[in-house]
Amino acid sequence: MTKNKNINPTIIVIFGGTGDLAKRKLFPAFQNLYLDRRMSEKFQIIALGRAEKTNEDFRNYVAENLNVFSRKKEIDAETQKFLSHITYHSLDIDKEESYQGLNEKINNFDLAFGERANRLFYLSITPSFISTISSNIKKIGLAANPKQDRIIIEKPFGYDKTSAIALNEMLSQTFKEEQIYRIDHYLGKETVQNILAFRFGNSMFEPLWSRNFIDFVQITVAEEVGVEERGGFYEGVGALKDMIQNHLFQILCMTAMEAPASLAADDIRNRKADVLKSIRRIKPDEVDHYIVRGQYGEGEIKGTPVPGYRQDKGIAPDSNTETYVAMKIYLDNWRWQGIPFYLRSGKRMEEKQSSIIIQFKPVPHSSFSYGKGGMTPNRLIINIQPSMDIKLQFMTKKPGLSMSLRPAEMVFDYFECSTMSPEAYETLLADALAGDPTLFMRWDQVEEAWDAIDTIQQVWKTTAPTNFPNYKAGSWGPEEADELLARQGHKWIPNTQTKQEVLDDTDL
């Protein structure tokens, strides 16, 4: 969350510089940071790849992709200047001598800058290569200065608790904890960050933010897309590890955390770690009671037929990998004891939606009836994407002679304030360049998040689902997910619910 800090001279080394993440997210993010004067004039990006390429060819490749993926698509003189700071270097990840050549290139840039620059290593590669890269970085001494050198690692950080501990121990042989930036791009989204400002910058909401006034909380991250070209990767991951363990748990932390003593990185991350520690661990015989898993079959997305998961490229015809997870969790702490948090995430859903819905308890006594023409629940809806807004739903008197009610909304819309908000990766990379780890995951957070789903993973390894596929592409998931909430008289609430649908909500 660093803003307006002077950025020291920096050399950025991207492992996987020719990959999909680099072309879609990283280079556009660095371009926009440069154009917005968020980067030092003394910087160099070294993109690493196996193939032999000239700097000119690679810069042309980056320019073509900026034209497609950047929010500032025009390749003007300033962007050309940005491109001149990009160097391509062919590197064989497995060979130590390749790192010697990289070291020479970095030292030459230091000489040109007239000082040793900060070094930011971005590992945009599969986790299986992390050990080899980290080992060679240590051998050559590429990241020997803890104050100046940092490494960014994409999710997933491990595949379960055991592998995450092993990976962390391995990285700790080369890097200190303060050098390791574990990135989750959801934490860079404006609306996610704004939860802190909304909660702790307004006296009217914080007193209501507890078990005393809140009935339940729903967190949804739904995607219309399937696995696309990521079938081989997704088969070994699934929705629980791909989304719940990181994205949704991080949103949960921002929603449920206590007020930090300050906005210092460790104060905020301490409070987030407290939330993860407080998640009630699910026992093996309770997994089916609290968790629903699903896999999409054939269906339609916006009227277009789409195949089922098992028909996608790279997917086994009898695959039991889950593409949907819904779960009910409790936080065993003073603020949230007894309040259910419902989390769900899935692919090939009816619409793309990321939101937090907080439903408040009904008034203790009301002269108005509930249902059509009467009371409906007060809700706070925080939309993360594709909409970016905060809605407060409450009741008002309907104009006229009769005493009847109707719902009303107060809306804060981010797009009305700014049509050019920075992308999530811009925010996170700006913080990494400045050495601000606030929005990155600390090791204890990662460990607690894995621990919270460890039992679920173990049970699912030994108990295969017998009903896959169990929801149609283009739906909101399996029926069992609705039953999960219905047991407590609750239901999933779409963030796009119309006022009439609110009015007709008679069963809440």
DSSP 108-156: HHHHHHTSPPEEEEEE-S-GGGHHHHHHHHHHHTTT--TTTEEEEEPSP
Active site (annotated) includes residue 490:
no
Q: Which two tokens stand for residue 485?
A: 């909430």
- How many Cβ atoms from other residues are within 10 Å of residue 495's Cβ? 21
Marked catalytic residue, from 85, 89, 185, 247: 247
Name the phi and psi angles at 385, rounded to 5: -165, 150
The span from the CA of 480 to the CA of 101, in Å, is 56
CA-to-CA dists, residue 484 to 103, 113, 326, 352, 491, angstroms: 55, 60, 8, 22, 9
The span from the CA of 494 to the CA of 93, in Å, is 46
Handedness of CA 279, 280, 282, 287 (dihedral sign): negative
AA letter at 473: A
Residues with Cβ within 8 Å of 79's Cβ and at least 6 positions away in sequence, in order, are 31, 35, 63, 66, 72
Task: Give exposure, 176-191, as e/b (b: 16+ Cβ within 10 Å).
Answer: eeebbbbbbbbbbbbb
Alpha carbons within 13 A on the beta-carbon side of 141: 2
CA-to-CA dists, residue 117 to 21, 40, 139, 178, angstroms: 25, 11, 20, 18
Q: Cα-atom radius of gyration of the chain, to the nearest Å?
A: 24
Give the strands of the sheet with 86-90, arranged side by side: 86-90, 43-49, 10-15, 118-123, 149-153, 180-182
The span from the CA of 10 to the CA of 149, in Å, is 9
Long-range contacts of 17-24 (CB under 8 A, 24+ apart): 17/46, 17/47, 17/48, 17/49, 17/88, 17/124, 18/47, 18/49, 18/51, 18/61, 19/124, 19/125, 21/124, 21/154, 22/47, 22/124, 23/61, 23/62, 23/65, 23/69, 24/65, 24/69
Name the phi and psi angles at 383, rounded to 5: -90, 125
Check: CB of residue 358 under 8 Å from CB of residue 217: yes
Q: Which residues are catalytic?
A: 247
